[in-house]
Structure 1
Amino acid sequence: MKTVMAYVGIILGCMLIFFGIFFRLEAMTDVALRRAMILFFILTMTEIITFFSLIGVPLMTHQLTRLFYRFHREEGRNFSFSLSIPDKYLKKGETSWKRRWRSIGISSTAASLILINCLAGYIGSLYFDEIFKTNRNIEIIAHRAGGDLAAENSLEGLKKAIKAGASRSEIDVQRTKDGYYIIHHDTTFKRLTGIKRSSDQMTLSETQGLKIHDLFQKDRADQPVETLDAFIQQAKGNIGLLIELKGHTADTKMADDVISKIRKYKMEKEAVILSLDYKMIQYIEKTNPDIQTGFLYFFSFGNDKMLTGDYLIMEEAQATDENIEYVHEAGKKVIVWTVNTEDSMSTYLDSDVDGIITDHLRLAKEQQKAKEKRTDFERILDYIRFSYFLIKSPKIKIRSHLQNGSFQKFYFKNKE
């Protein structure tokens, strides 16, 4: 028991020493030296704790074995067994020079580890910002106009997203029975208005008589269904737009009409057209190569030669370091959706993605600001946590889905 307690005491003592040294290091004014020392002590303490963790099991096994034999001796039961061990493995005594060389070997090993840790700390301090990066250029994008700031896909939501400092707003466009374009996500209006009719079953006048219920905060006022023109006019000069061509009215006519409106309001640099249909992205890139496009997908896509468009909008399960790097190598930008938990926000705000789409805009902005104020030690811990998040999250490798250099056909579910 004393050995076990000593073992636990050593571990706790090491941790106390570590945190005591850490708080002193954080107060150092020399940035490079502080970072090198923090990395050195993290490596050293990790090695010490690992060492005692490894020898802890055999030590406790030894103690339990001794207790086992003592208990049975006290009960009057004796155990005896013999092991056949070759003489060459039996320790027959140790000369002083052997003990001296063993001590030298242990000391040399410890000194080598300290030297390696010093070197690693120094190199780590030189590339600290590259390894433990704080990406201040990640765009925070409001989901369905304003996320939880107002009723989804409402003009009020867009206005609040602008006020909250969103980089862009993602909206969904559908066509009415009489050929107008409105902002709406679902197949029908039932979930948001109670009316089970689709956009192409109603005229513009009929849709403008509907009221969108605020499902995020039910005591807020209902909002009217608005046109794409109203959204573009509000966004012009204030916020970027990700315009998804939505539903079964999403065809080449819709693409042409939306592009005409983008050109009409001179929003070419501020608007990106999104689609789940890869052929639609190919069509836009072929007919209007200057218009920014984004392919939104759940599962997979073809090789880099087949990748047309400017953005890849991927779900969290696909947003691994490897996939992000692969997309960037193809000259595309990566946006992750829908990033709604604090853990996910923290993870992707530390990653190499170009933007995140979220329902919780204010929370994401707060996390982004907090990350800019982190200490060096907090940045290291976030890096470790981010690496663990990627290890435990589902991995879908883009390269594993490439077959014969051609685009694969697959099916999507429509999230409503």
Structure 2
Amino acid sequence: MKTKALISNTLKNIYENKFYFVTVSSTIQFFIIFFGKIILSFLFWVILQASEQVNITKDNFFHLFTNIYSVSAIIFFIIILAFLIFLEFAFLTFMAYSRIYNTNIQKKEIIKNTFEKIKMLFGVQIIFFIFYFIIMIPVANIGLSSVFTENIYIPDFITGELTKTTTGIIGYIIGTIILLYINLRLIFVLPLTIIEEHKLSENIKISWKITKKHQFRLIWTWIVLILLFSIVIGFFVVLLYGILLLIRETGEHLLTSSIFLTIVEILLFFMAAISKIVIIVSLVVVLGKKKILEEKGKKLSKKEKKISKILLVIILISIINLFIFNYNFLKNKPIIGKNIEVVAHRGYVHGGVENSLESLEAAAKLKPNYVELDIITTKDNKFVVSHDYDLKRLAGIKKKIKDLNADEIIGKTIKQNGFVSKIVSFEDFVKKAKELNVNLFVELKPHKEGESPDYIDKVISKMRELGIDKTSKIISLNLKVLEEINKKAPEIEVGYIVPILFGNFGNNNVDFYLVEDFSFSENMVIQVKKENKKLYVWTVNNENKIVKYLQEDVDGIITDELELVNELKNNKQENIFSILDTLGL
């Protein structure tokens, strides 16, 4: 089928069934998300109980597989997740198939069919499912993804570090292209698995064969149709916003803002649903030659009409509840940036090489609450300021800091983003910080091979010697080091850096937490408040995320974009779109 014909056919089927597709798909996904999250949250709690853990982090991940109970809970979690994903796409695929090819299938049959498909995952097929599950995680928000995977992504702190070198950028781009290619080649796997009777492994082969040629027809179809719908919805959003601004001139804007926000949220929700419908309908159109269901009239029966009316009532009730929520949210909306501390990540990297005196000076001009730096011990147990354990990335020297004395490292030339500077000692960095009246977040980076027995005492002694034990804070990925410092020097505030976290913080003897944006949740805010501790989020560089966290009840953010943060904090004019950012839309 040629691209033009595929676009025309897909658009025609969507238009003819627009009400049915949008209402049914939206309702299905709402219920699957609602009940699915409850079930999966409970099963996650079971996994934690079985493994005797309070959370899952990079440090205890492999502990989950040390007893039969936690392993069994994990397997059951995967099976339920597989069932929910299959159920979601079974409804969507049969919804499209039945309307396009004049067939009819009952919801009981869809659920029964899903159970049958899940059975095939037992045994070797689970390997193929896990492989496919990883591949179907959307890359750059492209591809056919489940509501349970569309918010999964590579954390920013990983991609951020990868793209700080030319090799990393090239590797990241190549890896992304490869994943996008595989994602596209396997795009027919779920529809085939739902409609046909083949095993998942066989459907992977079939999908690969189907997409051997003319993959770009599918891509162009999706681009054209999704862009078309985006333009239409975007037009209405801009039009509504213009009307909102005119109405605001009358003085009363809480009600109109609530109405506008509700309408925009509905449009965005429908846009997400339509994007998925476009992909599924186009796939079903391509697979349309394989008729496996009994043909019946396309016209809605009275029963179907009744169901459609019920769905409409459910949607209307949901819209009313959404409006009430938005009204109360806007009424009590937090002030942007109120009492939020800003921490400059490794200084200001737009004004100098990271962790250099120049980046410290550049940061000081923008007046953050703190400047973060990293310190590492040398061969002779001195502290130098560096993020990396070796000198390759910034100095171009293939040597590790632990193998060199301080005088062999301090003064070495480092380069980054067109800036040139020198590696400095911890003492010199603190001296300059005091001159600039800047307080510090000192990140300890103990060597993986281990430190000297008196490492913690040296850190405490150095903080006291430099006179920053009460004005600056210590942070680290090493919880044991932090708890020991807190025990020996309670006057020094210590913060635990958490890159990946599923669940709650443990009962840790620290003063505050620094959680990566990927792992942040409202439950964390509730927990730290109960424990009278603080919570910082790192590394927040995206404008939408900056706005979001400036309105969250967190204590601070760590960022590379100081100038942008200041601009957003000082912008007192309310922007309704910033509310969407806060709500994660």
Q: TM-score, normalised by structure 2?
A: 0.47
Identify the residue that residue 517 of structure 2 maps to in structure 1.
316
| Residues 146 and 254 of structure 1: CA distance in aligned 2, closer, same or farther (over 3 Å) | farther
Determine the structure 1 residue equivalent to 2:437.
238
Measured in 1, the distance between the counterparts of 2:537 and 2:260 equals: 35
The equivalent residue for 1:253 is 454
Question: Are 1:327 and 2:518 an aligned pair?
Answer: no
**Residue in structure 1 matched with residue 244 of structure 2 by the alignment:** 22
Q: 1:301 to 1:275 in 2, by over 3 A?
A: farther
Match for 1:180 among 368, 371, 382? Answer: 382
Alpha-carbon shift at residue 47 of structure 1 (Å):
8.9
Is residue 38 of structure 1 aligned with residue 237 of structure 2? no
Residue 229 of structure 1 aligns to a residue whose secondary structure is helix
1:223 maps to 421
Consecutive unaligned residues of structure 1, counting only runs of 5 or more, are 52-79, 90-108, 390-416
Q: For 1:14 and 1:208, how far apart are their aligned partners in 2?
A: 59
Correspondence 1:135 to 2:337: yes
* Preserved contact between residue 258 and residue 330 of structure 2 (Cα < 8 Å): no
The structure-2 alpha-carbon separation of the partners of 1:45 and 1:187, relative to structure 1 and needing over 3 Å to count, comes to: closer
Give the SS at the match of 1:269.
coil
Change (3 A) 1:297 1:331: same
C-alpha separation in 1, matches of 2:377 and 2:505: 33
The answer to whether the Cα contact below 8 Å between 1:148 and 1:361 also exists between their aligned partners in 2 is: no
Superposed displacement of residue 302, structure 1: 8.4
For the residue of structure 1 that corresponds to 2:568, the secondary structure is helix
CA contact (8 A) 2:336 2:547 kept: no
Instruction: Please report how far the alpha carbon of residue 301 of structure 1 lies from its aligned counterpart in structure 2 after TM superposition.
Output: 8.2
Q: 1:35 to 1:227 in 2, by over 3 A?
A: same
Deviations 1:239-271 (Å, cap 9, x if unpaired)?
A: 221111114165663332232232233323321
Q: What residue is the counterpart of 1:148 in the other structure?
A: 350
Matched, 1:385 2:581: yes
> Partner letter of residue 439 of structure 2?
G
What residue is the counterpart of 2:396 in the other structure? 194
* TM-aligned CA deviation for residue 230 of structure 1: 1.3
Does the 8 Å CA contact 2:348/2:362 hold for their aligned counterparts? yes
Query: Which one is further off, 14-23 or 144-153?
Result: 14-23
CA radius of gyration, larger in: 1
Amino acid aligned to 1:166: P
481, 490, 494: which one aligns with 1:289:
490
Alpha-carbon shift at residue 353 of structure 1 (Å): 2.3
Once the two structures are superposed, the pairs formed by residues 47-66 of structure 1 within 5 Å of their partners are none
**Whole-Å Cα distance in 2 between the matches of residues 49 and 385 of structure 1?**
12
Kept after mapping to 2: 8 A contact 1:147/1:361: no
- Matched residue of 2:254: which SS? helix
Instruction: Go from structure 1 to structure 2 and tell me whether the alpha carbon gap of 1:351 and 1:198 turns closer, same or farther (over 3 Å shift).
Output: same
1:177 to partner: Cα distance: 1.9
CA change 1:151–1:50 in 2 (3 A) is: closer
Give the Cα–Cα distance (whole angstroms) in 2 for the partners of residues 191 and 12 of structure 1.
43
Distance 1:270 1:12 in 2: 49
**How far has the Cα of 1:273 moved from its partner?**
0.7
Q: After superposition, give the CA deviation of every residue in 1:158-193 in whole Å (9 maximum; x if it has no partner).
A: 111111222211111111222221101112111111
Q: Give the Cα separation in 1 of the matches to 2:505 and 2:399.
A: 40
Shift of 1:328: 2.9
C-alpha change, 1:258 and 1:145, in structure 2 (3 Å) is: farther
Could you say which residue in structure 1 is the equivalent of 2:501?
A: 300
TM-score calculated relative to the size of structure 1: 0.64
Higher helix fraction (1 or 2): 2
* Structure 1 pair 256–146 and aligned structure 2 pair: CA distance change class (3 A): farther
Deviation at 1:364, TM superposition (A): 2.7
Task: Check 1:300–1:41 CA distance in 2 against 1; reply closer, same or farther (3 A cut).
Answer: closer
Task: Classify 1:385/1:251 alpha carbon distance in 2 versus 1 (closer, same or farther; 3 Å).
Answer: farther
User: What is the rounded CA distance, in whole Å, between the counterparts of 1:49 and 1:187 in structure 2?
Assistant: 45
1:36/1:307 CA distance change after superposition, 3 Å: same
* CA offset digits 1:112-153 (Å, max 9, x no partner): x9xx89x959x947x746335423322222212333321111
Q: Give the 3 Å change call, closer, same or farther, for CA 385–262 of structure 1 in structure 2.
A: same
Higher mean C-alpha displacement, 318-327 vs 189-198:
318-327
Single out whichever of 276-285 and 355-364 deviates more from structure 2: 355-364
Gaps of 5+ in 2: 1-15, 20-228, 271-296, 307-312
Count residues in correspondence.
318
SS at match of 2:514: strand
Q: Partner letter of residue 253 of structure 1?
A: D
- Work out which of the residue numbers 560, 570, 580 in structure 2 matches 1:359: 560
User: Which of 344, 352, 358 is the equivalent residue of 2:545?
Assistant: 344
